[in-house]
Amino acid sequence: MNNKNIEIIVFGKVQGVGFRYSTKKVADRFNLNGFVQNLIDGTVLIHVNGEASIVDEFTSKIKDSPTPYGHVDNIKVTNINEINDKGFIIK
């Protein structure tokens, strides 16, 4: 199994619109591990790990905004070494 661990920073209308809750629903559906959290600058931080092709599919769902009330302008994806293996949580 080819695992992928990434950090995603999401820019746009992503706070106060149910973005974290919707992101968790997508991650849970894909059985991924990690977390999602609002940052003070108005962006959302996501750490996610799992099977590479599933992480890629998750990333494209995030690009399209998992909530109809939000709008993603841009995302920044970085490979990380941190591994979360306790499910996906909202911080």
Query: Among 5, 20, 33, 49, which one carries the catalytic annotation?
Result: 20
Catalytic residue among 2, 3, 29, 38: 38
2 catalytic, yes or no?
no
Q: Is 38 designated active site?
A: yes
Between helices 52-63 and 19-29, what is the axis angle to 10°?
A: 150
* DSSP one-letter code for 52: H
What is the spatial distance between Cα 71 and Cα 53, in angstroms, rounded to a whole number?
Answer: 24
Active-site positions?
A: 20, 38
